[in-house]
Amino acid sequence: MSNYQNLCQDDCAELPKNALPSNALVRFGLQPAWAKNLLKALLIWCQRSRERFELESLTDDQLKDAGISRSEVEREIKKSFWVR
């Protein structure tokens, strides 16, 4: 696991899994549009990283149940956090 994955996983652990960026924006009291967009991007990137980490940890049987091959997982987890 990369240092980024460790960092992001630790930082995101406190956020609800399906946290809406708007909830965080209200919590932090951010008003400028650029700050809202930045926070939204950071939350999305962190969620992607967490989802890819979780995908990587699935067993072959779980992947088979989901209809996903191990090669698809490998391709997905190699993507950078900012790439969809």
Spans of all domains in the chain: 20-77
Q: Which residue has the tokens 């997982």?
A: 73
- Band (pLDDT 50/70/90 cuts) for residue 61 is very high
Kindly report, residue by residue over 8-50, the tens digit of the pLDDT.
555 554 555 555 555 555 666 656 788 788 889 999 999 999 9
CA–CA dist 42, 72 (Å, integer) = 25
| Residue for token pair 């979780």 | 54
Tokens read off for 27: 């919590």
Render the burial of 39-78: b for 16+ CB within 10 Å, e for the rest: bbebbebbbbbbebbebeeeeeeeeeeeeeeeeebeeeee
pLDDT value at 56 more than 50: yes
Instruction: Report how far residue 68's alpha carbon sits from residue 82's, in angstroms, rounded to the nearest whole number.
Output: 22
pTM: 0.57
What is the pLDDT, as a whole number, of residue 3? 42
